[in-house]
Structure 1
Amino acid sequence: MTNVAGAPGADKAEPTVGGERRFAETLHFARRNPKLLIGLGIVLGFFLLGLIGPLFVDHDPNEYVGPQSQPPNGEFWLGTTSFGQDIWAQFVYGVRSTFLIGFFGGGVAFLVGTAVGFVAGYKGGWVDDVLNMLTNVVLVLPAMVVLIVAIAYLDARGVLIQGIFIGLTTWPWAARAVRSQTLSLATRDYVDLARLSGRRTWRIITSELAPNMSSYLVMTSILLFGGAVLTAAGLDFIGLGPTNGVSLGLMLENAVQWSALQLGLWWWFIPPGLGITVIVSSLYILNVGLDEVFNPKLREL
C-alpha cells in the first residue's frame, strides 16, 4: 500500500529511497574512478599479503635459515641478509606490522580527534574554548620528539604501545578539521529539531552529525592511517621500533646499520623502502579518488 502524507511510515520512506539513490550514485562513480580503483587494489593487495603471507612462512623471520648475502633466487625470493635471514619472511611480517600500526595509530588518532572535534563544534562556548586550547597545545608540541622520548624509556615496545603513542600525538589536526565541519552543521534545522526533542549530545552527534560527514570521516581516517605508517617507519628507522619484532622500518634500519648499501645488497633495503612508499602512496591516491567520487564538482561523467 502506498503511504500518504501523515500515514505511519510516510516520513521514513522518502529518506530511505533518497539514501539508496545516493548510495547507487556514489557506487556508480566509484566504479568509474581509476584513482580509487588503483589505490584500493594496491592497498588490498598488500593487506592480503600481510594477512596471508606469514601463514606460508615456516620459520621465524629473524631466524638464520640460509647462506649469507644471497641474492634473490628460487629458494629465497628476496634473498638473504648478511646473517642468513630470509628477507621475504621479514617482508611479509613487516607488511603485517605496517597495517597493524596503521590501524592502531590511525584508529586512536581518529577516535580522539573526532570525539574532541564533534564535542567542541557542537557544544561551543567554554567547552569549545577548553578543547580548542587543548588541541592547540598538543598541535604545537614536536610530535616526533615527544614520541622519541616517550618510547625510548620503554623497556619493551610492541606494535600496540607504539600505535597508542602515535595516535595520542597525531589527533589534533583531525580534531580541528572535524570541529570546523561540525560548526557548519550544528546550526542546521534538523540538528535544532533533534536538540529541541531532548536527545542527548552523543545521540545527536552519532545520528545527525556523523552520518552527514561520513565521506569526510572516511577520508580523514585514511590520511591518519597513512600518517601513522610514516611516523612508525621513522621511529623504526632510528631503532625505536617493536622489541624483538620485525617491521619494514626495522628492516631499513638493519640494512643501513650493517652497510647493505655499501656492500651492494640492494635486495635488503629496496623491498622495505619500496613497500612503505607504495603503501602510503596508494593510500593517498585512494583518498584523492574518494574525494573525486564524493565531491560532485570533481566527478567525471
Structure 2
Amino acid sequence: MTTSVTPDADVIGKRSEHLYFALRNPKVVIGLTIVIGLLLLGVIGPFFLNNDPNEYIGPKSEGPSGDFWLGTTYFGQDVFSQFVHGLRSSYLVGGLGAVIAFAIGLSVGFTAGYRGGIVDELLNMLTNVVLVLPALAVLIVISSYLEVRGVVSQGIIIGLFSWPWVARAVRAQSFTLRNRDYVDLAKLTGKRAPQIIIKEIMPNMASYLLMSVILLFGGAILFAAMLDFIGLGPTNAVSLGTMMQQSMAWSALHLGLWWWFVPPGVAITAIVGSLYITNVGLDEVFNPKLREM
C-alpha cells in the first residue's frame, strides 16, 4: 500500500523545515530580536510616557540621569521621549514605503513576466524610466514642495520610487516559471492568469519575495533618514532622522551633547544592519547549500 503526499502537505513540510532552520540560524535570531525589540519599544513605549516629545519639560542640555534616561536637548526636551516616538515614525515610514514598493513591483513584474509581448515591453519601459530617475533628487524636489510633510506622505513618496528593481527581478523569475509543467497544467484546468500567478508561481518565489520585503523595508528607513537629515523630514512628527538633523543644526557635537545624536544614529544603524544580517541568514535557510549544519 503506497502513501501519496499532496502538494499542500509538501508545502507545509517545506515551511516547517524552513522554520526549523531559521530558529537555528544565529543571524536570523539575532537580527529579528533587535528589529522586533526596537519595534516593540516604539509601539508600546509612547503609552508609558506622560510628556509630548517636543515639550520643554526639563533643564537644558542635561546628561542622562534617573529623571531623563537619555538626557535633554539644548531646549530642555526629553531625548528618550523623542527617541521612542522617533522609532515609531521610522518604522511606520519603512513599513509603508516597503508595502507600497512591494505591491507595485509585484504587480508590474508578474504582469510583464507572465503576459509577455507588448504588455511586457510597455511595463519594462516604464520600469526603466523610473529606474534611471535620480530617486533621491526626485524625492528631495517633491518633499520640498509639500507645505506639510507627514510620516505617511513621506512613506508614500518613498514607496512610489523604490519598486523598479523588485519589478525587474520578479519579471525575470516569472519568465522562467511561466513555462513550467505545473503552470501548463493549471492553464489546461481553466485557471485564469491571476489565479495561476498567485497559486502556482508566487509560492515558488516565496523565499525571494520575503527577502525583497526586508531589503525594501531597510532601504525605506535609510531613504527617510537621508531626507530628514537634510531638513525635509516630517513637519508634524519626530523621527530618528529629524532628531539627528536637529542635534546637528544646534551644534550638539561641538557642545558635547552626545546623548542627543548618538541614540538615533545607533538605532538607525542597528535596524538596517539587523535587517541585512537577517537577510543573509534567511538566504542560508532557504538555500540548503549555504546552511551551517
TM-score (norm 1): 0.95
Give the C-alpha shift of residue 34 in structure 1. 0.4
Aligned to 1:261: 253
For 2:33, the aligned partner's letter is G
Query: 1:170 corresponds to which residue?
Result: 162
Map 1:68-79 onto structure 2 (within 5 A). 68-79=60-71
Q: Quote the Cα distance in structure 2 between the aligned partners of 1:273 and 1:218.
A: 26
Correspondent of 2:38 among 32, 42, 46: 46
Residue in structure 2 matching 1:107, options 99, 112, 130: 99
Structure 1, unaligned runs of 5 or more: 5-9
Residue 28 of structure 1 is matched in structure 2 by 20
Alignment-derived partner of residue 183 in structure 1: 175
Rounded Cα–Cα distance in structure 2 between residues aligned with 1:298 and 1:31: 15
User: What letter matches 2:138 in structure 1?
Assistant: V
Counterpart Cα distance in 2 of 1:210 and 1:35:
26
SS of match in other structure, 2:6: helix
SS in 1 for 2:161: helix
Structure 2 CA distance, aligned partners of 1:124 and 1:16? 29
User: How far apart, CA to CA, are the structure 2 residues paired with 1:170 and 1:18?
Assistant: 34
Query: Which of 249, 274, 284 in structure 1 is aligned with 2:276?
Result: 284
Gaps of 5+ in 2: none
Deviation at 1:23, TM superposition (A): 1.9
Q: How far did residue 28 of structure 1 move?
A: 1.8
Distance 1:207 1:250 in 2: 43
Take 1:65 and 1:140, find their aligned partners in 2: how far apart are those partners?
Answer: 47
Q: CA deviation at 1:82?
A: 0.5
Matched residue SS, 1:67 = coil
RMSD in angstroms over aligned alpha carbons? 1.3
Matching of residues 114-153 of structure 1 within 5 Å:
114-153=106-145
Give the whole-Å Cα distance in 2 for the aligned partners of 1:297 and 1:132. 33
How far apart, in 2, do the equivalents of 1:81 and 1:146 lie? 32
Residue in structure 2 matching 1:245, options 218, 237, 240? 237
1:91-127, CA deviations, whole angstroms, 9 ceiling, x for partnerless residues? 0000001110011111100000111011111111111
1:170 counterpart SS class = coil
**Identical columns (%):** 62
Partner of 1:200: 192
Deviations 1:201-220 (A, max 9, x none): 11111111111111111000
Q: Matched residue pairs, number?
A: 293
Cα distance in 1 between the residues matched to 2:12 and 2:190: 29
2:58 corresponding residue in structure 1:
66
1:221-261 per-residue CA deviation (whole Å, 9 max, x = no partner) reads 00000000000000000111111210000000000000000
